[in-house]
Structure 1
Amino acid sequence: MASNQFIAFALVTIILPTLAVATEHIVGDDKGWTVNFNYTAWASGKVFQVGDTLVFNYQPPHNLFKVDGDGFKNCVPSGEPTISGHDIITLKSPGKKWYICGIGNHCSELGQKLVINVVGSEAPAPTPAAPATPTAPAPPNAAYGLAASCYQIFVAAVAVVAMIVA
Structure 2
Amino acid sequence: MMMARSRNVGILVVITVMLLKTTEAEDYEVGGSTGWTSFPPGGASFYSKWASNFTFQVNDTLVFNFESGSHSVVELTKPNYENCAFDNNIKTFNIGPARVTLTAPGEFYFSCPFSGHCSSGQKLSVTVITDSSSPPPNKTPTQAPAPRTATVEGPSPSPSASASVPTTRAPSPQTHSTDIAPPPHGSATPLTSTFSLFIITILINFLSQF
State the TM-score, normalizing by the size of structure 1. 0.65
Most deviating of 44-53 and 77-86: 77-86
Kindly report structure 1 stretches of 4+ aligned residues shifted beyond 4 Å.
9-12
Q: Is structure 2 residue 98 aligned with structure 1 residue 87?
A: yes
Residue of structure 2 equivalent to 1:20: 23
Shift of 1:146: 4.2
Equivalent residues of 1:55, 1:87 under 8 A apart: yes
Equivalent residues of 1:64, 1:82 under 8 A apart: yes
Identify the match of residue 67 of structure 1 among 72, 76, 93.
76
Equivalent residues of 1:77, 1:100 under 8 A apart: no
SS in 2 for 1:81: strand
Structure 2 counterparts to residues 23-42 of structure 1, below 5 A: 23-37=26-40, 38-42=46-50
Structure 2 distance, partners of 1:46, 1:118, is 10
Equivalent residues of 1:49, 1:118 under 8 A apart: yes
Code of the residue aligned with 2:66 in structure 1: it is Y
User: Unmatched 5+ residue regions in structure 1?
Assistant: 1-5, 126-141, 148-152
If asked which structure has higher relative contact order (CA below 8 Å, sep 6+), I would say 2
Code of the residue aligned with 1:52 in structure 2: it is D
Report percent identity of matched pairs: 30
Q: Is structure 2 residue 125 aligned with structure 1 residue 115?
A: yes
Shift of 1:82: 1.3
User: Unmatched 5+ residue regions in structure 2?
Assistant: 1-8, 41-45, 137-181, 187-192, 206-210
Code of the residue aligned with 1:111 in structure 2: it is G
SS in 1 for 2:92: coil
Code of the residue aligned with 1:82 in structure 2: it is F
Residue of structure 1 equivalent to 2:64: 56
The number of aligned residues is 134
Shift of 1:10: 6.9
RMSD (Å), alpha carbons:
3.5
SS in 2 for 1:30: helix
Shift of 1:106: 0.4
Structure 2 counterparts to residues 108-147 of structure 1, below 5 A: 108=119, 110-121=120-131, 123-124=134-135, 146=185
